[in-house]
Amino acid sequence: MPFVKKAAGPAGRDHGRKEKTAVQLSPVRRIDRVAVQERICAMTFDDGPCRLPASPDHFRGRPLTQVLAEILERYGARGTFNVVGDTSGGYPDKLGKPGSPFWNGAACDHFPAFRQDDQGGAVHCPELISRLLAGGHEIASHSYTHLMFGRTSLLYSSRKCQPSLEAVVADLRRLHKTLEDGWGYPLRLSRPPRCVDVIKNGFTSYDAFALMGYQYLAASFDGAGCLPQSNYQAEVEAAWRPMERLLLEDPDAFRGQIITQQDGFNMACRTPVADGLENQLRLLTDHGYKVVTVSELLERAPFRDVMAESREGRAARRLLRLGWCVAFQDNTLRPDTVLTRGELAMMAFGWETVRRRIEMVRSGRAPFRDMGPRDPYAAAAARAMETGAMSAVNGRFRPEDPVSPAEAAQFCAVRLGRTPPLGTWDHITHGEFFTLIAELLEK
């Protein structure tokens, strides 16, 4: 399955990048595409809801968000809308250069446009949230204020950002509460503002999302709704021509992909998504695709590299539903990878030690002589030892060592209350361990 990515432009919309995603097991998985056999994909729409009409307006003044929902529904499609709460708190501010990433504010983003914050966001447009939910669409978090989580040294170095992990989480909780109180709707997915992951004091968006119980909503294909072109028609064509070329090269290219779009204006204050979306959906429909919400896509296929119907996929999915951290941060299972002691601890104790890991980083106190406080598996390893599921020797946990048969038997006996037959392997892979656990749970 080829990885498909469009190059990010100056707006920083590199949703598909993978090189910065750590190779470690994690409670929070970066979801950009999944492994499926059928032709299904998902579309996401950032920065709304937006009450202003499309620009140029070819839809008789209807709110942009409503227009997008209606187009999706005509094709039997359902979208995932990554909404904000209210961007009016960023004033005093000034407009940046038109056509630049600062077109809607030099220090903060203002959606749907500068000095028109009251025409966008869940707080100001509750009727549009209700309209999306009535149409079967999904709501995800794009933060309450759309204030970046942390400072970046590149394009957005002058932008305001959240001062701490606590501030990021408070902002996310504010939007979460808005959706719960207003619609009884529990948010489960989140995309960071501007896709900036770094948070002050060495934390990242993965830490914030873990505290919220969210998964990281990324994307693998940019629908080109943000960057300006020479004219509006060129912007509309940029939304669907690359998709057309890719489908001509490989009709299966969009299987399991997550496409990112704008529910708002681009940097030239236009909305090419309004006229480009229908062409995109027509292309996908003509090639036999069904467009579903991201949550439905994940329900059908949770992982990036393993089919849900495979033996390893079925076993891993069962553990995932029981709260195990079976996938790496890039949402791969890597079933042929040798299972290490640190990974085993994280699999079983990752979610319950999220707060402990953060406290460990803050205190600077290491639990073992061979694991520092910032080791991603340190808190889980400490918990595994406390429960008796795993052991340390002379203050060393040996997180990189392969799991031995005796260690696997001890772990299963304590964690599951069931002991497997003592194996004779030199090492066990992730896939073999998933299958072992699944078989034990069936007894």
Lowest mean pLDDT among 190-199, 240-249, 270-279, 421-430: 421-430
SS3 at position 45: strand
Q: Which helix (H) or strand (E) holds 48?
A: strand 40-48
Cβ atoms < 10 Å from Cβ of 253? 19
Q: What is the mean pLDDT of residues 275-299?
A: 98
Give me the pLDDT at residue 9, please. Answer: 32
Q: Is the pLDDT of residue 8 over 70?
A: no
Q: What is the mean pLDDT of residues 7-33?
A: 64
* pLDDT, tens digit, 9 for 90 and up, residues 76-117: 999 999 999 999 999 999 999 988 999 999 999 999 999 999
Which residues pair with residue 108 across a beta bridge?
A: none
Confidence band, pLDDT 50/70/90 cuts, at residue 20: low
Q: Between 9 and 364, where is the model more confident?
A: 364
Residue 148 CA to residue 192 CA, distance in Å, equals: 7
Q: Which helix (H) or strand (E) holds 238?
A: helix 232-249
Q: Is the pLDDT of residue 13 over 50?
A: no
Confidence band, pLDDT 50/70/90 cuts, at residue 356: very high
Confidence band, pLDDT 50/70/90 cuts, at residue 4: very low
Give me the pLDDT at residue 317, please. Answer: 96
Match 């770094």 to its residue by tokens.
Answer: 198
Give me the pLDDT at residue 11, please. Answer: 35
Residue 155 CA to residue 322 CA, distance in Å, equals: 41
Give me the pLDDT at residue 155, please. Answer: 77
Give me the pLDDT at residue 5, please. Answer: 36
Q: What is the mean pLDDT of residues 250-259?
A: 98
Contact of 385 with 336, CB cutoff 8 Å:
no
Share of the chain above pLDDT 90, in %: 88
Sign (positive or negative) of CA dihedral 208, 211, 214, 215: positive
Torsion angle, CA of 234/238/240/245, rounded to 10 degrees? 110
The b-or-e profile of 293-303 (16+ CB within 10 A means b, else e) is: bbbbbbebbbb
* pLDDT, tens digit, 9 for 90 and up, residues 53-73: 999 999 999 999 999 999 999
Closest C-alpha among 165, 13, 178 to residue 83 = 178
Cα-trace Rg, the chain: 23
Q: Is the pLDDT of residue 132 over 50?
A: yes
Cβ atoms < 10 Å from Cβ of 347? 24
Lowest mean pLDDT among 9-13, 35-39, 431-435: 9-13
Confidence band, pLDDT 50/70/90 cuts, at residue 153: confident
- Tokens standing for residue 316: 């891993």
Give me the pLDDT at residue 154, please. Answer: 74
Q: Is the pLDDT of residue 2 over 70?
A: no
Give me the pLDDT at residue 23, please. Answer: 85
Q: Is the pLDDT of residue 393 over 70?
A: yes
Q: Is the pLDDT of residue 14 over 80?
A: no
What's the mean pLDDT when you consider all of the chain?
Answer: 93
Q: For the chain, list the domains and their CATH numbers.
A: 30-298 (3.20.20.370), 305-442 (no CATH)
Give me the pLDDT at residue 1, please. Answer: 26
pTM of the model: 0.93
Contact of 90 with 147, CB cutoff 8 Å:
yes
Share of the chain above pLDDT 70, in %: 95
The b-or-e profile of 108-117 (16+ CB within 10 A means b, else e) is: bbbbbbbebb
Match 């299963």 to its residue by tokens.
Answer: 412
Give me the pLDDT at residue 443, please. Answer: 73
Q: Is the pLDDT of residue 6 over 50?
A: no
Match 């929902």 to its residue by tokens.
Answer: 69
Give me the pLDDT at residue 422, please. Answer: 78
Q: Between 288 and 158, where is the model more confident?
A: 288
